[in-house]
Amino acid sequence: MELEVREGDIAAVEADAIANAANDHLWMGAGVAGALKRVGGEEIEREAVAKGPIPLGSAVATTAGRLGARYVIHGAAMGQDLATDAGLISRTTRSCLALADELGCRSLALPAFGTGVGGFAVATCAGLMVAEARAFEPRVLERVIFAVFGSTAYEAFSSALSSPFPDGR
């Protein structure tokens, strides 16, 4: 599976599925969720909220509205308190990869889970997410794009991808 990093607006990435850094009730506020809702439309949030709440670390898919993707995969990387941790980020990454593969997606764009309102350290997040992607054994999924915002996140994910260690050290 090909892994790459891109800096910029995740809503503009061309992929079969785009992951949303969601809370367990799936309402879409600011950050990644706000960008996806702004471009894709309110129907993404309406469909997501109807499927919630979901367990922390799990994921559900909705249609993608006006986005260039077929699906938005909502990964519950935090609860209503907007807090997250390493275990949640790892589980959410695995859940999103598995759901994209199950849906027959060949490409998936992932944000840096928990690094916005969750306040999680971006370098640690990058190592966790890259390790999960490297360990994943897809049936269909061919490409994972870490679509991150800002030069700090871009550098952290680039460093994790270039590291020979599975956990991105």
- Give domain limits for the chain: 2-162
Q: Is 19 helix (H, G, I), strand (E, B) or coil?
A: strand
3-state secondary structure of 43: helix
77-94 pLDDT, tens per residue?
Answer: 998 888 999 999 999 999
Would you state the pLDDT for residue 168?
45
For tokens 């891109």, the residue is: 6
Percent of the chain with pLDDT over 90: 88
User: What is the band of 166 on the pLDDT scale with cuts at 50, 70, 90?
Assistant: low
Closest CA to 97 of 124, 131, 56: 131
The whole-angstrom separation of Cα 113 and Cα 62 is 18
- Give residue-wise pLDDT tens across range 89-108: 999 999 999 999 999 999 99
pLDDT at 56 over 70: yes
Q: Which CATH class is domain 2-162?
A: alpha beta
Q: What is the distance between the alpha carbons of residues 61 and 78, in angstroms, rounded to a whole number? A: 17
pLDDT for the residue 94: 98
Task: Report the run of H or E that residue 48 belongs to, with start and end.
Answer: helix 42-51
Binned at pLDDT 50, 70 and 90, residue 165 comes out as low
- What CA–CA distance (Å, rounded) separates 69 from 101? 14
What is the Cα–Cα distance from 56 to 39, expressed in whole angstroms?
26
Q: How many residues belong to the chain?
A: 169
